[in-house]
Chain A
Amino acid sequence: MEKGKTRILIAKVGLDGHDRGAKYIAQALRDKGYEVIYTGIRQTPEDVVKAAIQEDVQFVGLSLLSGAHNQLFPRVVQLLKEKGAEDIVVFGGGVIPRDDISFLKSQGIKEIFTSGTAIDEVVEFIEKTLRNAAG
């Protein structure tokens, strides 16, 4: 699939206002040729799912630094499923302790990127996921 046609929603869930990382990822992915939408801060899982479906994205990248990820990330996956949009791939980032990563993955979050991740790793993840989906 052509990069220009891949649409990605970067979303800040929860009450946390730390959006430096989310904005960087959004801008850097756009510079890499993807179509990126950024939600702004303080979105509920419901807001994010609504935006994801409305914007017809293939990926949702969730950012959270407050520690509420174990509650809010799985909620997004669950809501997508309820809306019949489970084909949208969810990944996440932020201050996520290592112990929580396997739990989040078991809840359907495809990948977790923590502090220090290079943008190329995110691109590689996206491209690999697209290749696997294309089959």
Chain B
Amino acid sequence: MNKKSLKNKQERWKNSTLKNFLAKAPERQKNFSTVSENQVSVLYTPLDFGEEGYLEKLGFPGEFPFTRGIYPSMYRGRLWTMRQYAGFGTAEQSNQRFKYLLNQGQTGLSVAFDLPTQVGYDSDHPLAEGEVGKVGVAIDSLADMEVLFAGIPLDRVSTSMTINAPAAILLAMYIAVAEKQDVPRSELRGTIQNDILKEYIARGTYIFPPKPSMRLVVDTIAFCAREMPKCNPISISGYHIREAGADAFQEVAFTLADAIEYCRVARQAGMEIDQFAPQLSFFFAAHNDLLEEVAKFRAARRLWAKIMKEKFKAQDPRSMMLRFHTQTGGSTLTAQQPDNNIVRVAIQALAAVLGGTQSLHTNSRDEALGLPTEKSVQIALRTQQIIAYESGVANTVDPLAGSYYLEFLTDQIESRAQEYLDRIEAMGSMVEAIERGYIQREIQASAYKYQKSVESGERVIVGLNKFKAEEESPQEILKVDPQIREVQIKKLREIKGRRDNQAVNHILRKIEEVAGTGENLVPYFIEAVKAYATLGEITGALREVFGEYHQQVIF
């Protein structure tokens, strides 16, 4: 059927069949929209598929523009990596949780660090008060890292580490631990998040100003390109941007804008695009609007492939593949009727899988209340296993492709994200846009609008503003021992007592010296952690040279 005749027939349907029906049975709402406030029509047909054809827009999986997936057979070959973000308390406790998760059939590790570690303070720093071991494991020195991975074979497990400002130092510790297990760094598989730009935008664990921070990122990218081919030196993260309140368009746009910035700076440092781009990885959120989310992942994949090919002139197809991790949306969880969160997580996880994710973390039902219990974590992991083994969605590649609505959404997310990218480009660069506060203001406006629509009841959140229940189910919450800081401080004292302090001082001074030059810092970090210099000491040396970043309050 040609489009013209379809158009006529659709008009007729709209003006007769639909109109007559609506006269008798009006719709529930005046307007329908996605979570990202995108208007939704009653019906989508081939008329919404746009002018470009199947081959240009979708093509085949494993080939440009990778809309349908980055691998030819997707989950028929290997399922996504089930990777639950975990870590709390001391290295000993987190090591136990890791072993539990591996025994439950988890296939990769994902380390959560506590906030002092994330901002480069040892546990005895005054600002660490109350925070040690709370949102993740406390790592002060290589000694903690050795305990964290004790009995876990690093040649067989891949490890993701959510660490940003001091990422290069934690990578150095990982390399050093692996050496003690006789695993060479070239064999290590894993990812460090190392995405500093989104820290300024959304997540807040920055240490240094943007310029030296970008240099540390590029040092790591260069080091991994040379010595760690199986590692992802960065995970460019839209997750936190979304969690801070961005909509799906902004999530795609700002993540890719960050990625463009990293590529630009790495090239300025003398690297060829195909030398490092295959090792770039991404991280997105999965929220409740199932089809919008599936479309988002597909649109991001297509847009990135085009950017790499057209803007950066990449030749290697691997440079054009957007490989990504997904986490279900923490901000969508409710503290009210927490068991309902199991269902939300299942829908979000399904979106990630239908969108072709490479790895997935599913949140636990109780995370709006505190740290998840072992039981809740198990349900979250089982949710992934049910999708993988029972739902059938992993049996074919990109199973929703061709849905008129989905393809319409995919096109729309791509073009709206492109508009943002053009606007950022016009400002000069992403760093410029961040420094001007443009990105932060855009996100905040979306967050405010969203929250208003929830408070007005326009947007229904089950159990929160509708279908409320008085009865509160008993909550069992994982408690972190408040004495943990004392334990860590004692360990720190022991380390400092038994290491060669002269060697430590020597390497710390060396790091200060190299920080002032253009030389790659990673080898010096490796030397320092092996001498048991603490994380706080190493970042302290860098703070001396780089200075500290102070947030401009945008409100």
Chain B interface size range: 35 or more
* Docked-complex contact A116 and B245, CB < 8 angstroms: no
Residue A4 at the B interface, CB < 8 A? no
Chain B residues positioned under 8 Å from A118 (CB to CB): 455, 465
* Docked-complex contact A97 and B204, CB < 8 angstroms: no
Residue A72 at the B interface, CB < 8 A? yes
Given the known inter-chain contacts A17-B204, A97-B370, A115-B335, please indicate yes or no for A70 contacting B555, CB distance below 8 A.
Answer: no
Interchain nearest-CB distance for A18 vs B (Å): 7
Chain A residues positioned under 8 Å from B331 (CB to CB): 20
* Docked-complex contact B447 and A97, CB < 8 angstroms: no
Report the number of A-B residue pairs with Cβ-Cβ less than 8 Å: 102
Stretch of B22-30, B348-356, B475-483 at the chain-chain interface? B475-483
Query: In the docked arrangement, what's the CA distance between A68 and B552, Å?
Result: 24
**Please, which residue of chain B has its CB at the minimum distance from the CB of A27?**
B448
* Docked-complex contact B447 and A66, CB < 8 angstroms: no
Chain B residues positioned under 8 Å from A24 (CB to CB): 447-448, 451
Partner of A23 from the list B335, B444, B475 (CB cut-off 8 Å) is B444
Majority SS at the chain B contact face? loop
* Docked-complex contact A98 and B475, CB < 8 angstroms: yes
Chain A residues positioned under 8 Å from B464 (CB to CB): 116
Chain A residues positioned under 8 Å from B370 (CB to CB): 67, 95, 97
Query: In the docked arrangement, what's the CA distance between A28 and B555, Å?
Result: 11
* Docked-complex contact A38 and B203, CB < 8 angstroms: no
Digit string of A30-66 for contact with B (CB within 8 Å is 1, else 0)?
0000000011111010000000000000000000001
Interface, chain B (partner A; CB < 8 A): 115-116, 118-119, 121, 126-131, 134-135, 199, 202-205, 243-245, 331, 333-336, 368-371, 444, 447-448, 451, 455, 464-465, 475, 477, 480, 482, 551-553, 555
Since A18-B204, A119-B455 are in contact, a sample of 11 more A-B pairs with Cβ atoms closer than 8 Å, ordered by chain A residue number, is A17-B204, A23-B447, A40-B552, A41-B204, A42-B127, A42-B551, A66-B115, A66-B135, A67-B480, A116-B368, A120-B455
Q: What are 24 contact pairs spanning A and B, CB under 8 A? A: A15-B131, A15-B205, A16-B204, A19-B244, A20-B245, A20-B447, A23-B444, A24-B451, A27-B448, A40-B553, A41-B551, A44-B127, A67-B131, A67-B371, A68-B130, A71-B130, A71-B482, A72-B129, A95-B368, A95-B369, A98-B369, A116-B334, A118-B465, A119-B455
